[in-house]
Amino acid sequence: MSDTDTWISACSTADLEPGTGLKVPGTCPPIAVFNIDGEYFAIDDTCSHAEYSLAEGYVDGDTVECELHYAAFSVKTGAALTAPATEPVGTYSVRVHDDQIQVAATQRCVIAESRL
Ligand code: FES
Q: Is pLDDT above 70 for 76?
A: yes
The domain segmentation of the chain, as residue ranges, is: 6-105
Residues across the chain: 116
Q: Residue 107 has what pLDDT?
A: 60
Q: Residue 110 has what pLDDT?
A: 63
Cα of 43 from ligand 1 centre, angstroms: 15
Is residue 54 lining ligand 1, measured as CB closer than 6 Å? no
The answer to whether 41 and 54 are in contact (CB under 8 A) is no
Cα of 103 from ligand 1 centre, angstroms: 24
List Cβ neighbours of 112 (8 Å cut-off, separation of 6 or more): none
User: Which CATH number applies to 6-105?
Assistant: 2.102.10.10
What is the mean pLDDT of the segment spanning 30-54?
97
Quick one: DSSP state of residue 71? -
Which residue has a Cα nearest atom 1 of ligand 1? 50
pTM given for the model: 0.90
Q: Residue 26 has what pLDDT?
A: 85
Residue 102 — very low, low, confident or very high, per pLDDT cuts 50/70/90? very high
Cα(45)–Cα(69) distance, integer angstroms? 15
The answer to whether 104 and 93 are in contact (CB under 8 A) is yes
What is the mean pLDDT of the segment spanning 69-91?
97
Quick one: CA dihedral 31, 54, 72, 47, positive or negative?
A: negative
Q: Is pLDDT above 80 for 83?
A: yes
